[in-house]
Structure 1
Amino acid sequence: MNTNTLPTDELKKYGIINEDLSFSKKLNADDIQKFLQGYTIVADNDKDRATFQLTDNNTQLKVIFLERDKNLSEILKNSKDKIEYSQIEDVSNQKEAGFSIEKKAFIFDKETEKVVEFDFINNARELTAIIADKKNTEELNRYIAELLKLKSFLQDKIVQFPEMAKEITNDLNIVSKEFNTVAGISEKQNHSQKQEKSDIQLNVNDPDVYQDANRIKEEENQEQDEEIQKSRGFRR
């Protein structure tokens, strides 16, 4: 790894390093080490997001500008009440505007009291497992709707960008797999709820239940008649 040929002008431009070539105080030692090893630095500001990555043996800086559909402050606030969904569009290349869209889910972790961001593609299995574990029909249905939106988007992009069909198809397969998994979970939940409702109705309409109730009522009436007769006999 070569650190002597860093693109210092570009790094200064985006505030990653200072004029004296020291790294920004916003980055800790672990962040810097990972960055020099090819990891991506992410900078968020309301609706805007920028990612920075060193390439070509640390001689080039790859910068991608992204735009959210919602303000980050709004996302973080709303995610404390329910899972918040957002998408980020790559606006770096205007010629291919709308080609790259990342779908995110923001979930509040009660144990750490922090909001965790999950990507629909990179964190697909983990995201599905977390939502399924909540056993919340409303949240499950919302997740299904978001998966359908992303699935439709990817299908359209295969037609619009045939040269990227293989890459897009890989993402589409991931989304389709998660959708099938969640749809299966939803079907089981609906079946279980219908079965419980059916059992309740069966208990209410069960003739044995009515027969037992009528028998008990008749016995109570007979006892009441006997008490009345005894009462009359005593008065005589």
Structure 2
Amino acid sequence: MNTDILPTQELKEFGIINNDNSFTQKLSAEEIQKFLQGYTIVADNNKKRATFQLVDNNNRLKVIFLERDRGISQILDASKRSIEYSTVAEVSDSGDEMNFRKKAFVFDLEHNKVVEFDLIKNSRELTAIIADKKDVEQISRYKNELEKLRSFLQDKMERYPEIAKDISRDLSVVSKEINTVDGIIRRTNDPLNTSKQNQSGIELNVNDPDRYQDAQRNREEQNEYKNEDLQRSKGYGR
């Protein structure tokens, strides 16, 4: 494979390619091809996360370091018992959390694996999955996480008016899901109104198309895939 135009030194530093310029065996041929097409590698190491993406016609490696509130192993283990929520933030030198994401980890019993959902990018699928569980405590907890995310976005919009338009789109998504969840809670608390379920704008039938697969497709469309064992350097962990 021709790697002449690639930023080989940086790729070696992060363990993405070997000293002989071959790609690490931890990446499949399909993953390598996607990476060369602009897809992002997402690598987790305890509380830390790093994303790697080739930009500028594959001449430059864009690296973003993030940190989550808990270690990934702890989150994955706990999510097998109940839905777990975690925040991932890119913290600048000033300590400002410019890039803040809230994730939900849901155990897919059918496929025996934990699936990660973004509360903004995968909001519709996540709301449908949680609604299907018909668990008042889980639904209320989900609403609480959405409200915390909304508060963060509102604060961010005030602090960074230059990107208010982008933030407002995310804020609109979150507010819409909160309204949907409010409707679900009302119907859950009033069994006489369950016949109105189909008027809510959300399908709760357990035979609906696989929401987990929908979320996976969305992640692929966003040009992102994960490799949790990729070696990292520069203090990220080996």
Tell me, yes or no, whether TM beats 0.5.
Answer: yes
Partner of 1:25: 25
Partner of 1:176: 175
Partner of 1:88: 88
Percent of matched pairs sharing the same residue: 61
Higher relative contact order (CA 8 A, sep 6+): 2
1:176-227 CA distance string (max 9 Å, x none): 11111111111111122799xxxxxxxxxxxxxxxxxxxxxxxxxxxxxxxx
Partner of 1:63: 63
Distance in 2 of aligned mates of 1:102 and 1:118: 10
Is residue 2:52 matched to residue 1:52?
Answer: yes
Indicate if the aligned counterparts of 2:3 and 2:21 stay in contact, CA closer than 8 A.
no
Q: Higher helix share goes to which structure?
A: 1
SS of the counterpart of 1:94? coil
Structure 2 residue ranges without an equivalent (≥5)? 195-238
**Structure 1 residue 97: Cα displacement:** 2.4
1:9-61 CA distance string (max 9 Å, x none): 11111110011000011100111000000000011011000000000110111
Distance in 2 of aligned mates of 1:81 and 1:103: 19
Give the letter aligned to residue 139 of structure 2.
Answer: L
Partner of 2:186: 187
Distance in 2 of aligned mates of 1:15 and 1:3: 15
Distance in 2 of aligned mates of 1:14 and 1:65: 12
Indicate if the aligned counterparts of 1:3 and 1:58 stay in contact, CA closer than 8 A.
no
Distance 1:3 1:171, change over 3 A: farther
Distance in 1 of aligned mates of 2:121 and 2:62: 20
Structure 1 residue ranges without an equivalent (≥5)? 196-236
Indicate if the aligned counterparts of 2:87 and 2:102 stay in contact, CA closer than 8 A.
yes
SS of the counterpart of 2:191? helix
Distance in 2 of aligned mates of 1:193 and 1:12: 62
Is residue 2:121 matched to residue 1:122?
Answer: yes
Distance in 2 of aligned mates of 1:17 and 1:160: 40
Give the letter aligned to residue 107 of structure 2.
Answer: F
SS of the counterpart of 1:100? strand
**Structure 1 residue 99: Cα displacement:** 1.7
Partner of 1:7: 7
State how 1:156-235 maps to structure 2 within 5 Å. 156-192=155-191
Give the alignment's TM-score, normalised by structure 1: 0.79
Distance in 1 of aligned mates of 2:113 and 2:193: 37
Indicate if the aligned counterparts of 1:90 and 1:100 stay in contact, CA closer than 8 A.
yes
Give RMSD over aligned pairs. 1.6
**Structure 1 residue 168: Cα displacement:** 0.8
Partner of 2:43: 43
1:146-167 CA distance string (max 9 Å, x none): 0000000000000011111011
Corresponding pairs, count: 193
Indicate if the aligned counterparts of 2:187 and 2:193 stay in contact, CA closer than 8 A.
no
SS of the counterpart of 2:97? coil
Partner of 1:214: none
Give the letter aligned to residue 81 of structure 1.
Answer: R
